[in-house]
């Protein structure tokens, strides 16, 4: 248990475990990134992949939002696509376009050719960055490790980049289900080992990003994704850290995602927080769920929306305040800072 000098548990870990905390903890997905001038200053000299490969830079960028915003958790600076590189895929980030994989995986031969990964050697710099960050962070600010969910990582491996309809991924699912399941099993092993290694290196919680899973029907989620996500969460169960399960556009999948696993379930902004919490059950914690675009609203409107989420949480232990998805690059930093203060002050005002 992370305990401060005062003997109180870190608010983030308390909420993840549904234990009472004096404040609602708050952090932001993509809190390290282009909306911060100090991040852009580093990015001016280094590519995204260079930052990820240099533990000193990755650690620095991880700590920037902690210093600037006073958030209650740090998230390791890395990317969900990094494990694909030692598996044998050629990954680059094209400015203005996003990730691109030069040799996407479509055939049985290409799936067979994928390598398994030893995180200690193949992803060593990421694990080193975990250690560096932990040395800098105080006990009140835990470090979250992360990975993509097998489904979301598979969509990049198969499509070769962002994709509107996930045509190639669904084609593999429907035409070659055995091949699909083989690929997802392999990814589940790689991602589970990677997350376990992050925890061994010092990560105090893990988040699994299933960002594009909302593209699937409930039936397809059950058949093609849930068994793998469940296996991943089972692999992580013995690590002794809270597990956060996050997706976008998941109104129709919440019960299934909760069934797959996670002490904490991420909610996006489309569902009122209290209704989402009711659906997944009060025996889980929830994380969310401000619309990232609300950070562009005038301050009174932003305040109204933040307060509405806190009111819906009702002071019940087990709410981690976050956005419903990642911060956008154009976001005004002052507005982000204002949300941190609003969330922290809410408890002090007696709710
Ligand atoms: O602060 C943090 O949240 C930690 C760092 C982090 C990054 N990527 C760094 C990054 C995290 C948690 C991720 C996760 C990630 N990466 C996801 C899941 C979360 C989500 O947003 O749904 C996904 C789908 C990816 C894949 C990815 N990486 C895409 C689609 C892109 C391009 C889109 C974009 O925002 O530019 C990236 C690039 C990326 N990864 C950036 C950052 C800060 C921006 C690129 C830059 O600095 O040039």
Ligand 1 pocket, 162 CB below 6 A? yes
Model pLDDT, residue 8: 85
* Residue from 35, 39, 156, 224 carrying the catalytic annotation: 156
* Residue from 72, 79, 122, 268 carrying the catalytic annotation: 79
Share of the chain above pLDDT 70, in %: 97
Rounded to the nearest angstrom, the gap between the alpha carbon of residue 178 and the centroid of all alpha carbons in its chain is 28
80 Cα: distance to centroid of ligand 1 (angstroms): 8
30 Cα: distance to centroid of ligand 1 (angstroms): 7
Ligand 1 pocket, 100 CB below 6 A? no
**Does the active-site annotation cover 171?**
no
Ligand 1 pocket, 29 CB below 6 A? yes
Q: What is the mean pLDDT of residues 87-113?
A: 96
Q: Whose CA is nearest to atom 2 of ligand 1?
A: 30
55-64 pLDDT tens trace: 999 999 999 9
Please give the number of the atom of ligand 1 that sits closest to the Cα of 148. 18
Q: How confident is the model at residue 351 (pLDDT cuts 50, 70, 90)?
A: low
**Does the active-site annotation cover 275?**
no
Is the pLDDT score of 345 beyond 60?
Answer: yes
Q: What is the mean pLDDT of residues 107-117?
A: 98
Q: How confident is the model at residue 350 (pLDDT cuts 50, 70, 90)?
A: low
Q: What does the mean pLDDT of the chain come to?
A: 96
Q: For residues 244 and 228, give the distance between their C-alpha atoms in angstroms, rounded to a whole number.
A: 16
Q: For residues 133 and 58, give the distance between their C-alpha atoms in angstroms, rounded to a whole number.
A: 9
Give pTM, 2 decimals.
0.96
Q: Whose CA is nearest to atom 20 of ligand 1?
A: 211
Closest CA to 347 of 8, 21, 27, 66: 21
For 349, other C-beta atoms within 10 Å of its C-beta total 7
**Does the active-site annotation cover 34?**
yes
Share of the chain above pLDDT 90, in %: 95
Model pLDDT, residue 5: 45
Q: Count CA atoms closer than 13 A to 277's CA, side-chain side.
A: 23
155-200 pLDDT tens trace: 999 999 989 999 999 999 999 999 999 999 999 999 999 999 999 9
Burial of 104 (0-12, 13-18, 19+ CB in 10 A): middle
Is the pLDDT score of 1 beyond 70?
Answer: no
**Does the active-site annotation cover 30?**
yes
CA trace torsion 133, 136, 138, 140 (10° rounding):
-30
Residues β-bridged to residue 321: 26, 288
249 Cα: distance to centroid of ligand 1 (angstroms): 18
Ligand 1 pocket, 207 CB below 6 A? no
Ligand 1 pocket, 211 CB below 6 A? yes
Model pLDDT, residue 96: 85
Model pLDDT, residue 347: 78
DSSP 85-134: HHHT--EEEETTTEEEESS---SHHHHHTPPP--HHHHSHHHHHHHHHHH
Phi, psi of 245, rounded to the nearest 5 degrees: -115, 115
Q: Do residues 153 and 187 lie in contact, with contact meaning Cβ atoms separated by under 8 Å?
A: yes
């Amino acid at each position: 248990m992370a305990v401060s000098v005062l003997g109180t548990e870190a608010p983030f870990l308390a909420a993840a475990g549904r234990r009472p905390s004096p404040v609602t903890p708050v952090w932001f997905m993509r809190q390290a990134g282009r909306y911060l001038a100090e991040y852009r200053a580093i990015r001016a000299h280094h590519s995204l992949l260079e930052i990820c490969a240099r533990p000193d830079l990755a650690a620095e960028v991880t700590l920037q939002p902690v210093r600037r915003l006073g958030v209650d958790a740090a998230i390791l600076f890395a990317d969900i696509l990094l494990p694909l590189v030692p598996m044998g895929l050629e990954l680059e980030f094209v400015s203005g376009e996003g990730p691109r994989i030069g040799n996407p995986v479509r055939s049985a031969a290409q799936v067979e050719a994928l390598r398994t990964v030893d995180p200690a050697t193949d992803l060593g710099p990421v694990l080193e960055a975990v250690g560096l960050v932990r040395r800098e962070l105080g006990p009140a600010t835990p470090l979250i490790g992360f990975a993509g969910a097998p489904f979301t990582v598979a969509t990049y491996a198969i499509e070769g980049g962002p994709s509107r309809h996930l045509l190639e991924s669904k084609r593999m699912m429907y035409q070659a289900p055995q091949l699909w399941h083989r690929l997802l099993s392999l990814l589940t092993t790689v991602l589970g080992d990677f997350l376990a290694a992050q925890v061994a290196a010092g990560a105090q919680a893990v988040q699994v990003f299933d960002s594009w899973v909302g593209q699937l029907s409930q039936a397809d989620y059950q058949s093609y994704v849930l068994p793998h996500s469940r296996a991943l969460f089972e692999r992580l169960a013995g690590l002794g850290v809270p597990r956060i399960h996050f997706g976008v556009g998941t109104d129709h999948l919440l019960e299934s995602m909760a069934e797959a696993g996670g002490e904490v379930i991420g909610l996006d902004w489309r569902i009122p927080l209290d209704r989402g919490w009711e659906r997944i059950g009060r025996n889980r914690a929830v994380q969310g769920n401000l619309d990232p675009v609300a950070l562009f609203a005038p301050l009174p409107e932003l305040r109204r929306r933040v307060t509405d989420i806190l009111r819906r949480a009702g002071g019940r232990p087990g709410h981690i305040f976050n956005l419903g998805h990642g911060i956008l690059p154009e976001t005004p930093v002052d507005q982000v800072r204002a949300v941190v203060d609003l969330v922290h002050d809410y408890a002090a005002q007696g709710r």
